[in-house]
Amino acid sequence: MIKTEECEFLNLFSKNFCPYLLVKILRLLGDRETAFSFFKFSFCDDSDENVFSCCLACHVLAREGSRYLAQDMITWIILKIGESRCRELVEWMWRGHWEYESDFSVLDSLMRGFLNVGMAEQAVVIVGKMREVGLVPSLSAVSSLFRLLFRVGGYCSVWKLFRDMIRKGPRPSNYVFNTMILGFCRKGFLSTGESLLHVMIKFGCEPDAVSYNIVINAYCTRCRIPEAWNWVDLMVKRQCLPSMVTFSTLINALCKEGNIVDARNLFDGMLEIGLVPNTTIYNVLMDGYVKAREIRQANVLFLDMRNKGVAPDGVTFNTLVGGHYKYGKKEDADRLFMEFSESGVVPDHSFTDVLVAGLCWAGRLHEATDFLKSMLEKGLPLSVIAFNSIITAYGKAGLEDKAFEVYG
């Protein structure tokens, strides 16, 4: 802006919060992110006069093709003025908007603004306003509203919104149905989620792998494996192929209940139908072997993982190295630790927490301190839990000076 010698606009704007000057400056700034940052910086006074000026600026931007920037600004205004003044904001945005943008444009922007800040009730009001003037809300905005309503527990509004979609549009999509199935299943209403999966076919939406996986996962997380298998059978019967997520969910559930044999059989079944397990599935089964103290099988699985070119990650590190330190041989754990470190795979802090606590519990305080120092030197992630373990152990051993050294 300085290079183009347009500084006078800034000087004028600093003296008078004028909507047209604001739009001019925002346009000169070029990209949306920079323009929005300037608006946030400049919108300090949330008086009625300034808020109304901002509404006018949003209208002008929408007319000039910058509706996304206008939506960003509306979101920020809502955050600044709070829920108590939102009704006035809607009135100001609606007043005289015909000169700048359509009914749909202004109401859609308001709805997305309320969605962005998590104000479900206000977003529902805007949908009602749209219906009053004969408009159909966009499918993407309605989908976002469903997610928000489930998050805040607005089930009555969910059903009203769904009924209105059926009667007045927009027609529910697979994404909308999956959002509803997920919302009800997460809250424990599995029968409602199941009913939605069955009924979506009547509205031209064929359940996909995501639909089935949501219900399967809901049963697995509640340790109701037989019901989960029934849904897998129905999934296959309806010619919907199980996905990686399906297998991962089932293998994880089987491992958690200690059924490592069936988990391995399911893992092998993936290979038989041509699916190559990904890192997540290897990690899940590996964790099952470690918790069953079958370290040798975990090693074999890790070798199979590498031979198939599946890249290990930080979870693999935590599971395998931590398993060796707990239930295997220390020399094997040290070897794997070096191998992972050299390959660039970084553990997360949970591994460090467990390992340091284990060394302290075994009275190997010097090793725990050296390990902690080596992690710090390598720039690897640490948490306060690891430090607290060493400090507590030194304190119990009567070595308070050492504890203070670690703290320092």
DSSP letters spanning 51-76: HHHHHHHHHHHHHTT-HHHHHHHHHH
Structure tokens at 187: 């809250």
Mean pLDDT of 104-115: 98
Q: Does residue 390 sit in helix, strand or coil?
A: helix
Grade residue 49 by pLDDT with cuts at 50, 70 and 90: very high
Report the share of the chain in percent with pLDDT over 70: 86
Q: How much is the average pLDDT of 64-74?
A: 97
pLDDT in tens, 277-312: 999 999 999 999 999 999 999 999 999 998 999 988
The string over 264-290, giving b where at least 16 C-beta atoms fall within 10 Å of a residue's C-beta and e elsewhere, is: bebbeebeeeebebbebbbbbbbbbbb
Q: Is the pLDDT of residue 407 over 70?
A: no
pTM of the entire structure?
Answer: 0.81
**Residue for token pair 């029968």:** 191
Q: Which two tokens stand for residue 195?
A: 């009913």
Judge whether residue 313 has pLDDT over 90. Answer: no
Nearest 10 degrees: Cα torsion 272, 275, 281, 282 = 70
